[in-house]
Amino acid sequence: AKTLGKACYQVFDTAMHQHAQTQLRLETDLRRAIERQEFLVNYQPIISLTTLEITGFEALVRWHHPQRGLVSPGQFIPIAEETSLIVPIGLWVLKESCQQLVTWQQMLGGETVPTLKMSVNLSVKQFSQPDLIDRIDQFLEQMELQGHLLTLEITESALMDNPEAASQVLTALRDRNIQLAIDDFGTGYSSLSYLHRFPVDILKVDRSFINRIEDQDNGLRIVEATLAMAHSLGMQVVAEGVETQAQALQLQQLGCEYAQGYLFSKPLAAETAAGVLAQPPAF
């Protein structure tokens, strides 16, 4: 057993070492990825459960690595967070997706879809950058985009880490009519008491709750309670990761406003999303 233990440890150690090397390599590559234009944005439709129309898209970054191919955000966002590279990457995504929204508005004629929205993820790091609001102002002005068409998604920890600073940023966003969504709601240190202190417009209920919604006792009750709380605070709700018709029906019956998930569409390349907009599918 002793020798086996040692062998196991060596295998483990080698694996750890390889993992560390991969991380380091990715970090080096990540530093060059912006200037080499290796990022792209995919867009996942957000559907109104009342009209079953696409009301907007969530921008999701993709990294096309020259050797590794597509690297998932789950792999590189944590590295980007640790190294603060998420700040320039996040700004690039914001600019790119706002530009895309303006292009789509023009393509469809601003009159037809004056309300098509873009939702963009903001990391905790970005959220605490002192020049965040200036940069956003810059983009909005450059692209002549109205603030109410932009939604920023942040996680609960961005609010909780520094509530005072968060309050200031949120007030500035509100002044610009930019919508604020709490992402992955229910997975962090959700406390009902803090939510009402911030001008939050939208709660995005995490997929882990949505895929338990058919469980009468646990899943359903939690989503029901979350909806009741959100609505009483004047917030709208997006259900994340909706994969089945049964889930969508249940959510509709509970009065959930929006849904997002593979049932409706996976995140799409910009050209594909444009096609879907020009010829909306019947959900």
Supply φ then ψ for residue 134, to 5 degrees.
-60, -45
* Chain mean position to CA 52: 21
Per-residue mark of binding to Ca ion, 92-121 (x: CB under 5 A):
-----------------------------x
Place of tokens 């903001």: 122
- Phi, psi (5° rounding) for residue 95? -65, -50
Reduced to 3 states, what is the DSSP secondary structure of residue 164?
Answer: helix
186 binds, options ligand C2E, Ca ion, none, Cβ within 5 to 8 A by partner type: none
Among 140, 184, 223, 242, binds Ca ion (CB under 5 A): 184
Q: Which of 153, 195, 260, 261 binds Ca ion (CB under 5 A)?
A: 153
184 vs 257, which CB is nearer to Ca ion? Answer: 184
Minimum distance, C-beta of residue 64 to ligand C2E, in the bound complex (Å): 14
Q: How many residues bind Ca ion (CB under 5 A)?
A: 5
Residue type, 168: Q
d(CA 252, CA 273): 24
- The reply to whether 183 sits near ligand C2E by the rule CB under 6 A is yes
Q: % helix / strand / coil in the chain, to the nearest 5? A: 50, 20, 30
23 in Cβ contact with 230 (< 8 Å): no
Binders in 64-103 for ligand C2E, by CB under 6 A: 72-74, 77, 86, 90, 93
Residues 217-276 that bind ligand C2E (CB under 6 A): 241-243, 260-262, 267
Residues 6+ apart with CB under 8 A from 90: 121, 122, 123, 125, 126
x/- binding map, residues 29-58, to ligand C2E, per CB under 6 A?
A: ---------------x--------------
Write down the least CB distance from residue 124 to ligand C2E, Å: 9
Provide, rounded to whole angstroms, the least separation between the CB of residue 227 and Ca ion: 17
Q: What is the 3-state secondary structure (H, E, C) of 250-266?
A: HHHHHCCCEECCCCCCC
| Site residues, ligand C2E (CB under 6 A) | 44, 60-61, 72-74, 77, 86, 90, 93, 121, 123, 183-184, 207, 241-243, 260-262, 267
